[in-house]
Amino acid sequence: MKTKNFFYIIILLLAVSGYSCTEQQPERTIVDAEQEVKGHVRAVLTDAPQVPPRITNKSNTKVIVELEVIEKQMRLADGVEYTFWTFGGQVPGKFIRVRQGDLVEFHLHNHPDNMLPHNIDLHAVTGPGGGAEASLIAPGKSAQFSFRALNQGLYVYHCATAPVGMHIANGMYGLILVEPLEGLPPVDHEFYVMQGEFYTSGSYGEKGHQDFDMQKAIDEHPDYVVMNGAVGASSGENAMMVQVGETVRLFMGNGGPNLVSSFHAIGEIFDKVYVEGGSLINHDVQTTLIPAGGSAIVEFKCEVPGTLHLVDHSIFRAFNKGALAQIKVVGDENHNVYTGKEKEEVYLPEGSAIQTISQNKTQKSTKPIAEKSFEERMEAGESLYKQNCMACHMDHGNGIAGTFPPLVNSDFLQARDDKGIGIILNGLQGEITVKGTNYNNIMPAVSLSDDQVASILTYIHNKFENDGGLVKAADVDSWRKQQ
């Protein structure tokens, strides 16, 4: 009896879990490949970050896709050129959008000026090589093949001509979306972003035309990891633009050839992720993995203004190799969602004293140093200022209003008998007033030699419209001795 009860519980649990699954996940649609298609349309193709319009057709049709392979030299980063091999003239290749059950008549053209044969392997194809064998063409030739878009999803396509890795590494990849029969739910914006890495003869940023480096590719050591084919291709002034309150759907692909992307949007949570571009939907995701030769569809609503940074969260790729795209969200603040900085104040744990930047106290040398001339002090002072002071007081010496006091024409500095020597050697804390503005912050003591302090102060007194004059190392020395 007991076993029987247990058994029922298991059944019940299974049923419940099954039920909840079917409720969350839409049922997969299987299309009938024998079904007739009606009429034909020419596919609209777009370059990233644009996406072709949503499909409004209510029945399956024949979609004619014309894609041209073009080898061309383009910008990889500022001052860096690369010979890209492209599907349609840009990296990534043209975005293709069809509907599940459509018959796709694919025409691949290899431009006659190209050096090499090319073909295409579309992951959306059910058939040998994804169309690769059927589409291999010499320069100046066209190939045609047709396939039925049996499965819905977001699929990568790429060139599969030997050496396959090299063709992909040179930029031969793109995305094809097979929309489900019922279509994707409407959103305000759809964008196309694709990550890919480049292996160049020179290291990151090296100017001039860069050749492909096969050894780096085999070692999987890219110099560039970029979004949409070049550093800055979809950031800065090329950033995607949306309004506060709008919904965004990103068709995100990874061409590789080697790296897996830890795709993340700094400042946003993905409300919905079509995992790996398929029909499994996950919610509330921070970072989603996109395999090389794979994709993901992510959706989110932009609730507050600001810039979203789309990055590969293998984060050196974003900051040091270019893996960054941006969405600029403009509109009104919503403090119920995010306030921005409300308050900033001094934080002093109990018992702490002013810290010196370096604990090394060996500078207290009494050994006399040959005094520098005014010109020598100014020159040394400039570089010392940049190393020690500029981070807060800024290059121009104006500081940051309300946080770091200005040094330019500073009444506070000029009123001091010590010319400021005490501030540098001991640091400063507590409220002060400079040029009519109150500051309440901490400046740590800076551990410098007498000679260095003299140079910095000479520089500050003369460069920033103060009272001028020459501060000597001997002045600093005698000030120390008075303490």
Partner 1 sequence: MKSITFLLFALILSFSACKEQAAEKNSCCSTKPAMAQKTSGGMPETSLYQLNQQWKNQNGEPVQLSDFKGSPVVMTMIFTHCEYACPMMVNDLKMVEDQFTEKHQNVKFVLISFDHERDTPDRLLEYAKTQQLGENWVLLHGHAGKVKELAMVLDISYEQLENGAFAHANKKFVLNAQGELVFSQEGLQTKAEPVLKALNKLL
Partner 2 sequence: MLIAGENNNKMIRYLGSWILAGLILSGVGLSAQEDMSLIPAGSYTPFIKGITEEVEVEGFLLDKYAVTNADFLEFVKANPDWSPENVKSLFADSGYLTHWPVNYLNDKDLESNMEPVVNVSWFAANAYCKWKGKRLPTLHEWEYAALALPKNDSDSAALTRINSDWYSRKTAVHAKVGSTYENQYGVWDMYGLVWEWVDNFNTVISNEDSRNNEDAPQGLFCGSASLNASDASDYVAFIRFAYRGSLKANYTTRKMGFRCAKTIK
Residues lying near partner 1 in the complex (CB under 8 A) are found at 68, 107, 109, 111-112, 127-128, 133-134, 140-145
Among partner 1, partner 2, none, the one that 134 touches (CB under a kind-dependent 5 to 8 A) is partner 1
Among partner 1, partner 2, none, the one that 127 touches (CB under a kind-dependent 5 to 8 A) is partner 1
Nearer to partner 1, 71 or 190 (CB): 71
Nearer to partner 2, 200 or 462 (CB): 200
**Which of 52, 139, 267, 278 touches partner 2 (CB under 8 A)?**
139
Stretch binding partner 2 (CB under 8 A), from 190-198, 206-214, 222-230, 407-415: 206-214
- Smallest gap from Cβ 136 to partner 2, in A, equals 5
Nearer to partner 1, 145 or 155 (CB): 145
Nearer to partner 1, 86 or 210 (CB): 86
Distance of alpha carbon 334 from alpha carbon 288, whole angstroms: 27
- Is residue 73 a contact point for partner 2 (CB under 8 A)? yes
Question: Do the Cβ atoms of 451 and 372 come closer than 8 Å?
Answer: yes
Stretch binding partner 2 (CB under 8 A), from 139-147, 291-299, 353-361, 373-381: 139-147
Q: Which amino acid is at 194?
A: M
Question: Do the Cβ atoms of 453 and 421 come closer than 8 Å?
Answer: yes
Peptide bond before 163: cis, by omega within 30 degrees of 0? yes
Q: Which amino acid is at 286?
A: Q
Find all residues with CB under 8 Å of 315, minimum gap 6, and list them.
Answer: none
Among partner 2, partner 1, none, the one that 83 touches (CB under a kind-dependent 5 to 8 A) is partner 2
For 404, other C-beta atoms within 10 Å of its C-beta total 18
**Which of 133, 271, 303, 382 touches partner 2 (CB under 8 A)?**
133
- Is residue 156 a contact point for partner 2 (CB under 8 A)? no
Among partner 2, partner 1, none, the one that 267 touches (CB under a kind-dependent 5 to 8 A) is none
- Is residue 129 a contact point for partner 2 (CB under 8 A)? yes
Among partner 2, partner 1, none, the one that 163 touches (CB under a kind-dependent 5 to 8 A) is partner 2
Q: Where are the alpha helices (DSSP H) in 203-327?
A: 214-219, 316-320
Among partner 2, partner 1, none, the one that 249 touches (CB under a kind-dependent 5 to 8 A) is none
Nearer to partner 1, 43 or 308 (CB): 43
Question: Do the Cβ atoms of 261 and 311 come closer than 8 Å?
Answer: no
Total of residues contacting partner 2 (CB under 8 A): 32
Distance of alpha carbon 121 from alpha carbon 109, whole angstroms: 14
Find all residues with CB under 8 Å of 99, minimum gap 6, and list them.
Answer: 55, 57, 60, 61, 63, 149, 178, 179, 181, 183
What are the C-alpha distances in Å from 259 to residues 10, 92, 166, 202, 212?
42, 16, 14, 20, 17
Find all residues with CB under 8 Å of 104, minimum gap 6, and list them.
Answer: 43, 62, 63, 65, 98, 146, 147, 148, 149
- Smallest gap from Cβ 107 to partner 1, in A, equals 7
- Smallest gap from Cβ 62 to partner 1, in A, equals 14
* Bridge partner residues of 282 (DSSP): 273
- Is residue 208 a contact point for partner 2 (CB under 8 A)? no
Phi then psi for 400, rounded to 5 degrees?
A: -130, 120
- Smallest gap from Cβ 140 to partner 1, in A, equals 6
Among partner 1, partner 2, none, the one that 107 touches (CB under a kind-dependent 5 to 8 A) is partner 1
Peptide bond before 291: cis, by omega within 30 degrees of 0? no
- Smallest gap from Cβ 89 to partner 2, in A, equals 14
Retrieve residue 181's tokens. Answer: 């029969």
- Smallest gap from Cβ 83 to partner 2, in A, equals 5
Retrieve residue 18's tokens. Answer: 């099954």
- Is residue 112 a contact point for partner 2 (CB under 8 A)? yes
- Smallest gap from Cβ 121 to partner 2, in A, equals 8
- Start-to-end CA distance of the chain, whole Å, equals 91
- Is residue 72 a contact point for partner 2 (CB under 8 A)? yes
**Which of 90, 119, 326, 455 touches partner 2 (CB under 8 A)?**
119
Distance of alpha carbon 302 from alpha carbon 296, whole angstroms: 19
Distance of alpha carbon 411 from alpha carbon 397, whole angstroms: 14
Nearer to partner 2, 108 or 239 (CB): 108
* Bridge partner residues of 46 (DSSP): 95
- Smallest gap from Cβ 122 to partner 2, in A, equals 14
- Smallest gap from Cβ 111 to partner 2, in A, equals 10
For 468, other C-beta atoms within 10 Å of its C-beta total 10
Q: What is the DSSP string of 179-214?
A: E-TT-PPP-SEEEEEEEEEE-BSS-TT--EEE-B-H
Site for partner 2 in 216-275 (CB under 8 A): 218
Find all residues with CB under 8 Å of 420, minimum gap 6, and list them.
Answer: 413, 457, 460, 461
- Is residue 209 a contact point for partner 2 (CB under 8 A)? yes
Stretch binding partner 2 (CB under 8 A), from 32-40, 66-74, 346-354, 411-419: 66-74
Place of tokens 């002045």: 475
Residues that bind partner 2 (CB under 8 A): 71-73, 83, 112-113, 115-117, 119, 121, 129, 132-133, 136-141, 160-164, 166, 209, 211-212, 214-215, 218
